[in-house]
Structure 1
Amino acid sequence: MRKNDTEVTSFILLGFTNRDDILVGLFIIFLLIYVFTLLGNICIIAVTLFNDGLNKPMYFFLGNLAFLDILYSTVIAPKMLSTFLMKDKSITYSACVVQMFLFATLITSESVLLAIMAYDRYLAICNPLRYPAIMTTRFCAWLVCGAYLNGLFQSLFHTCFTFHLTFCKTEISYFFCDMPPLLKLSCTDTTVNEMILFTFCGFNEGGSALVVIVSYFFIIASLIKIRSGHGRSKATSTCLSHFVVFTLYYGSLFFIYLRPAGSRSMETDRVASVVYTVAIPMLNPIIYSLRNSDFKMTFQKLLSWKCSLL
């Protein structure tokens, strides 16, 4: 990708703070979160792959969610962790391009995937008789592929428009390369970029959130009609975990990407971005495993089987 007459060859990630006395503490905290994120999501993938009892659409989508969480945490965390300990906080121009492209691809794909998971729960609870005929293995695969392709297309579009700007500054008041902080470094007019960012994010995140909200409206209406206390409790437990992720994830995305450029503050954006880049990937394994009895039973059996082999 061309730099369009700019001589910038690298950027400087300023990170969270310039206070040297707390950098080591922050490094340890975020390192532990990253390790827990990897282990938790790898466990979800392992359990869903190696147990035929969980060969269901819900767990297929959950495995893909864990896969995306691992990838986009890894896109951000290693470089972020290095800025806590190293004096050189620079990131090359090309590495910044790659990081933003991969992050935008994965975060956009996850937004659509969460909407797909809400639609899956709607069908399972509100149309249980038609559910097996609709959510076939082939259809589930097409839905996930569509989420990934949508992420790739939108990310390519954003990346091309962002890095065809001329940059006059090199210090990014952020801990990774993202669109809003990069637009602030440009000395050219970014009105078109802001419009593209708002339009695409509004369509993708707004559309995905609408699917989730409508799905849960019908799910709640259906749950009220369930007479069995056990059936209502199980369905509510499963859906509650998804709704918690939805609220945290989309809330932080709306706050950062769908606000007018003039009202943005990098300090508050950094805090909000921690929610969907650090907290959500770590919380997903906890929320989905602890709120799902089938998953907990399968995980316990897997642990017992491994212990017996030792």
Structure 2
Amino acid sequence: MAMDNATAVIEFLLIGISNYPEWRVTFFTLVLITYLSTLLGNGLIIFLIYFDPHLHTPMYFFLSNLSFLDLCYGTASMPQALVHCFSTHPYLSYSRCLTQTSVSLVLATAECLLLAVMAYDRMVAISNPLRYSVVMNGPVCARLAATSWGASLVLTAMLILSLKLRFCGANVINHFVCEVLSLLKLACSDTSLNELMILITGIFTLLLPFGFVLLSYVRITTAVLRIRSAQGRFKVFSTCGSHLTVVTIFYGAAISMYMKPPSKSSPDQDKFISVFYGTLTPMLNPLIYSLRNKDVKRAMKKVMAKRA
């Protein structure tokens, strides 16, 4: 991201919750609880999957990747929001701001793509169980996960390298963290190319993956309806329904921010939407995907029995 030397901005002021001083304690408490829950839940999932051989399956391989992503994603933003909550002048240097923007974009993009891969994994497992172990073998799973990470790096690099912005002295960001849309709002240079790049990357990281997830769950629903056991249908519908709810929250919130015209954008609204999907989803994922699972519960009991 380049800047004009005459109007170079070396640091940004993140006003975040400063506009709502009466909500500081509540905001700090909620974010702290959410972050600690994110660390505990996702850390526990990674630990259990690593140490229990029974969890060394494709589904849990992807879940461990998702938990690692959520740990990193939460850590990229929540600690800073906590530190700045009661700060009088929450400044962030230009280099740190750009780094945070890049890291958050890579992790968010990787999660969007990984959620689509996980939907495909569940579709194959439910609609074609006899061929599941052949289709989703170890090398295939590793390539799918690596593709998610690699594509996120490429798409983020394309977006970040296209940011040729001049700020004309403006350095106040109405957000809790450095975020690409907030930076575009500060720029006094032409941002039409940047907006086009956001639209293009949004299609590949939001609309197409979300569409694929929905199609996968349509296939899953069709397969589930063929199950004769009412109890079996209810169990699968309950699990898939909770998965789809969290996925819809994540994609829906991101799409509402990045895929709408800039003229319809509201800084106050956008920053709270970003907190919603940037903090709530990493906390909910381990609860929805793993901690309710009987295999994970069995692994937890084994670990507790060994320590007793």
TM over 0.5: yes
Instruction: Give the deviation of 1:229 after TM superposition.
Output: 3.1
TM-score, length-normalised on structure 2? 0.95
> Relative to 1, partners in 2 of residues 1:237 and 1:48: Cα closer, same or farther, differing over 3 Å?
farther
Structure 1 portions without partners, runs of 5+: none
* Structure 2 match to 1:300: 301
RMSD in angstroms over aligned alpha carbons?
1.5
Q: Per-residue displacement from partner, 1:132-159 (whole Å, max 9, x unpaired)? A: 1110111101100100011111111222
SS of residue paired to 2:225: helix
Q: Per-residue displacement from partner, 1:199-223 (whole Å, max 9, x unpaired)? A: 1111221110111011111100110
The amino acid of 2:117's aligned partner reads: I
The amino acid of 2:175's aligned partner reads: Y
Q: Per-residue displacement from partner, 1:235-287 (whole Å, max 9, x unpaired)? A: 32332232122110000011000000100001111221122111001111211
* Structure 1 match to 2:172: 171
Kept in 2, the 8 Å contact 1:118–1:242? The answer is: no
Write the distance in 1 (CA, Å) between the matches of 2:203 and 2:219: 23
Instruction: Give the deviation of 1:97 after TM superposition.
Output: 0.6
Q: Per-residue displacement from partner, 1:40-99 (whole Å, max 9, x unpaired)? A: 100010111111111111111011000000001111012111111221211000000100
- Percent of aligned positions that are identical: 39
Tell me which moved more, 3-12 or 261-270: 3-12
The amino acid of 2:3's aligned partner reads: K
Tell me which moved more, 280-289 or 260-269: 280-289
Write the distance in 1 (CA, Å) between the matches of 2:26 and 2:273: 20
Residue 157 (structure 1) aligned with residue 165 (structure 2): no
Structure 2 portions without partners, runs of 5+: none
SS of residue paired to 2:129: coil
Write the distance in 2 (CA, Å) between the matches of 1:200 and 1:25: 35
Residue 203 (structure 1) aligned with residue 210 (structure 2): no
Tell me which moved more, 182-191 or 21-30: 21-30
SS of residue paired to 1:250: helix
* Structure 2 match to 1:31: 32
Q: How does 1:192-271 map to 2 (within 5 A)?
A: 192-271=193-272
Write the distance in 2 (CA, Å) between the matches of 1:180 and 1:20: 24
Kept in 1, the 8 Å contact 2:39–2:71? The answer is: yes
Write the distance in 1 (CA, Å) between the matches of 2:263 and 2:224: 43
Instruction: Give the deviation of 1:26 after TM superposition.
Output: 2.0
Q: How many residues align?
A: 306
Q: How does 1:1-310 map to 2 (within 5 A)?
A: 2-5=2-5, 6-162=7-163, 164-168=164-168, 169-306=170-307, 308=308
